[in-house]
Amino acid sequence: MRIPDFIFYGSDGYPFVAPRGIWIVNNILIVCNTASNQVYIWHQIPTTPYQEPDVVLGKQSGETDAYHFYYPSGVWSDGTCLVVADAWNHRVLIWHTFPQKNFQAADVVVGQKDFTTNFPNGDKVQTAPNAYHLYWCYGVFVHNHSLYIADTGNRRILQYFKIPENNYTPADNVFCQPNFCCRDFNPAFPTWPYSIKISDKQEALITDTQYFRVHYWRSFFKTASMPSDLVFGQINHEDNLQNRGLLTPNAQVLNWVYDALFSNNSNKIYIADTGNSRVLGFENDGLTNALEAQEVFGQKDFNQNGENKMSIMGEENYLYWPFSLAQNEQYLVVCETGNNRIYFYKK
């Protein structure tokens, strides 16, 4: 078990309630406090267990406009632009100037015609998608100036060649489906793509929550129209059993996986194995299907089930439903939804 160097609990004034998205850039900490439908920003990574956020986004009056969220999940920023996946409003909100005041309105909305609508696929669930639509979009990422959205309900990844500057901008490219109007099930591709990360080497990780696996492409932009090169958590692209049907986990299996990332130098891969209440670490070398992890965070060993007293009761060093991951040069950071905490592990 890896021991955290620091645990952050948020603030007394704005407590964490099921935080499910996290990002660090230029020592700025950004957390999606999902159950309160808000995003908290600290201009410096906190050094004490409790600290008030410098900026709070998201009013709580239940409206649909440029000021409100409904289940904010994925988040990305370069320190200037801020992008938030406003999942249950079926849209992504963008601030082109980094927010400096509480409840600052977003500049751009993607996935809806304007800030006041929140329809799945622009109309209803039964409506076929197109290049403008989103349906339960949980993840966002930017790589080489392109915005990528995990359009989870439509079983696809959308690419915008640049971060949109206008409302209702259509996507330029689609991955994991043959075209913009398709959302068919195909076990060779993610069935519930929840997050996407792309390395500087053009590798890609896409978490596939419903099939308890993570897809890995060695060269995403050359082969993304083809099935992934391998999957973590399953022995092939067809299998989809929770923990591969085992009663207790081991170093090869996954359970309700929601996020993954490459280390800064891409020599390691970390996976938030949420349903097993742990984070797994893998060496990014000689990868194969159902690869064994080398590190475990949040449980005493690879065989401990996450539904245990230490995790559920919030014992220090134990994780309960870690949902998302972030990093800087010093720390791997884990957003622990089950016990409303942020764990900092020194690299």
pLDDT band for 224, please (50, 70, 90 cuts).
Answer: confident
Between CA 169 and CA 112 the distance in angstroms is 9
Average pLDDT over residues 208-229: 92
Strands across the sheet with 204-208, in order?
193-198, 204-208, 213-217, 230-232
Helices (H) and strands (E) counted in the chain, each on its own, are 2, 24
| Closest to 254 (Cα-Cα) out of 286, 284, 218, 291 | 291
- Residues with Cβ within 8 Å of residue 265, at least 6 apart in sequence: none
Between CA 52 and CA 15 the distance in angstroms is 9
Query: Would you say residue 223 has pLDDT above 80?
Result: no
52-63: pLDDT as tens digits: 999 999 998 889
The region that residue 200 occupies, defined by phi over 0 for left and psi between -120 and 50 for alpha, beta otherwise, is: alpha
Between CA 209 and CA 136 the distance in angstroms is 13
Residue 34 has what pLDDT? Answer: 97
Residue 72 has what pLDDT? Answer: 98
Domains by residue range for the chain, with CATH:
6-346 (2.120.10.30)
Residue 12 has what pLDDT? Answer: 87
283-323: pLDDT as tens digits: 999 999 999 999 999 999 999 988 888 888 888 899 999 99
105-127: pLDDT as tens digits: 999 999 999 999 999 999 988 99
- Residues with Cβ within 8 Å of residue 224, at least 6 apart in sequence: 175, 176, 204, 217
Average pLDDT over residues 185-200: 96
Residue 221 has what pLDDT? Answer: 87
Residue 306 has what pLDDT? Answer: 85
- Residues with Cβ within 8 Å of residue 239, at least 6 apart in sequence: none
Average pLDDT over residues 225-237: 95
Between CA 111 and CA 341 the distance in angstroms is 31
Phi, psi of 48, deg, nearest 5: -125, 160
Residue 313 has what pLDDT? Answer: 82
Average pLDDT over residues 258-271: 96
Token pair 């299907």 is found at 289
234-256: pLDDT as tens digits: 999 999 999 999 999 999 999 99
Average pLDDT over residues 61-73: 95
pLDDT band for 14, please (50, 70, 90 cuts).
Answer: confident
| Closest to 120 (Cα-Cα) out of 133, 104, 138, 103 | 133
Could you tell me the two tokens for 182? 């398709």
Between CA 222 and CA 1 the distance in angstroms is 37
Between CA 169 and CA 188 the distance in angstroms is 29
Residue 125 has what pLDDT? Answer: 85
Residue 124 has what pLDDT? Answer: 87
Task: Write down the mean pLDDT value for the chain.
Answer: 96
